Amino acid sequence: MAKKHPEGYLSARESRRISKENRRITAQFEKKRKRKKVPESEYLTQMHDSANAVEFDNLHTYFFTDAGTVKSVDGVTFDVPLGKTVGVVGESGCGKSVTSLSLMQLLQRPQGQVVEGEIRLNLGDGKAYDIAKTPNETMQSLRGNFISMIFQEPMTSLNPVFRIGDQLDEVIELHDGEGKSKEDIKRRTIELLEMVGIANSEGVYSMYPHELSGGMRQRVVIAMALACNPKIIIADEPTTALDVTIQAQVLDLLRGLKDKINSSIMFITHDLGVIAEMADYVVVMYAGRVVEKGTAQDIFTNPAHPYTIGLMASKPVVGKQVDKLYSIPGKVPNPVNMPNYCYFKDRCEMQCADCAGQYPKEVSISDTHKVSCYRYYEKNRKGGEA
């Protein structure tokens, strides 16, 4: 078999060797993470810009599998400003959700580990934590109060055997229940259900998840995420399972609530239309790296990276009739053995001679618009050599 299929073939001996090495590596990470009474000085840090809610700085998140190390997030750097919405866009497997799970410390461990970089979370009053080094006990108090997440599929986010009210009450009791009676907690739950546009809040409080429609369940999940007025909300494709009408309602709801509680949103999606409607800033990811980032105006009026241009060309345009929608040729490289050159090179229709070199560094097209592409090196040589 090895002779017939040498490429991608892994012998049992090699697989055992990789597993043994992975156990050794992950054991070191787990030993450090499971320490008790870690001094705050170890994970206390300073924001590079106090106007940011979160700063991802050279983040590397790997999964140590029996087939090799998967570099799901490979040097990601971007900021989420206070009170703004940052859209993270890219195809499946590009590292969007893993980046958000790294911030929440919800990676599947011990296989999934943050191996390098910083995630700086702004706690206010000049204080910030590096989430990559924050111990589990401290993270328990940060989740819900400072960071919360709206997951992709509401039916799997809600427990089918507990009533809606019980699940919302539990969140408030755990994160913000000090000094509150059961009546106070229930009153807050009803208030949250009304805030997300559920008219029959008293009735829904006593219902089970299966008794609600998809849109109603999504509103409950949003209410759960907003229960403690978090500083940053991660919305991981919150409208994927909903029809277009309900999708528009949920997006309007998120926009209004963001302004009401003055939170930042990290909005993860495949849908460029949603990004155009929701985001102030856009981050385009491909194969675990950020290939382009800028304001929504920058990305939609002047897409620079060939991958971004391909994404724009592949979306349908209202009023324009075409026989076939454009699709980016080729496929994403194997995440275990990524090439040394630009990851998009083998699919790129705009490649130049320099593309065979090392992975391109980030080039500044403007103060807000940055791209990792050799095509802009000559136009901005200083940015290319930074």
Q: Which residues contact 228 (CB under 8 A, 6 or more apart)?
A: 144, 145, 148, 171, 172, 175, 176
Mean pLDDT of the chain: 88
Instruction: Collect all residues with Cβ–Cβ distance below 8 Å to 294 and sequence separation of at least 6.
Output: 281, 282, 365, 366, 368, 369, 370
Is the pLDDT at 385 greater than 60? The verdict is no
Say whether pTM exceeds 0.75: yes
- CA 54, CA 325: separation in Å to the nearest integer? 37
Domain contains 125: yes
Q: What is the CATH classification number for the domain harbouring 57? A: 3.40.50.300
**CA 183 to chain centroid:** 36
Tokens of 154: 């509401």
**47 is a domain residue:** yes
- The token pair at 257 is 């609530």
DSSP collapsed to 3 states, 95-149: CHHHHHHHHHCCCCCCCEEEEEEEEEEEEECCEEEECCCCCHHHHHHHECCCEEE
Q: What are the tens digits of pLDDT across the range 319-344?
A: 777 778 888 888 888 888 888 889 99
Q: Which two tokens stand for residue 237?
A: 């494709």
Rounded average pLDDT over 159-178? 90
Tell me what the mean pLDDT of segment 281-290 comes to: 95
297 vs 258: CA distance, rounded Å = 20
Asked if residue 82 belongs to a domain, the reply is yes
**Structure tokens that stand for 123 in this block:** 């706690």
Q: Is residue 174 part of a domain?
A: no
pLDDT at position 251: 86
Q: Is residue 204 part of a domain?
A: no
Residue 274 in domain? yes
Q: 174, exposed or middle or buried, with CB in 10 Å at 0-12, 13-18, 19+?
A: middle
- Residue 337 identity (one-letter amino acid): N
Dihedral sign, Cα of residue 235, residue 240, residue 244, residue 245: negative
Instruction: Give the closest residue to 274 by CA, choosing from 236, 306, 307, 223.
Output: 236
What tens digit of pLDDT does each residue of 7-65 get? Answer: 567 788 888 899 999 999 999 999 888 888 899 999 999 999 999 999 999 999 999 99
Tell me the average pLDDT across 363-385: 78
Q: How far is CA 88 from CA 259, 310, 378, in A?
A: 20, 16, 28
DSSP string, 169-224: HHHHHHHH-TT--HHHHHHHHHHHHHHTT-S-HHHHHT--GGGS-HHHHHHHHHHH
The answer to whether residue 353 sits within a structural domain is no
* pLDDT greater at residue 114 or residue 316: 114
Q: Please write the tens of the pLDDT for every residue from 237-247.
A: 888 767 788 78
Report pLDDT digits (tens) over 52-78. Answer: 999 999 999 999 998 889 999 999 999
Instruction: Specify if 284 maps to a domain.
Output: yes
Domain count, the chain: 1
Expressed as residue numbers, the domain containing 86 is 12-146+230-301
Q: Which helix (H) or strand (E) holds 17?
A: helix 12-33
H or E stretch at 45: strand 44-45
Please check whether residue 216 is in contact with residue 198, taking contact to mean a CB–CB distance below 8 angstroms: yes
Residue 232: pLDDT above 50? yes
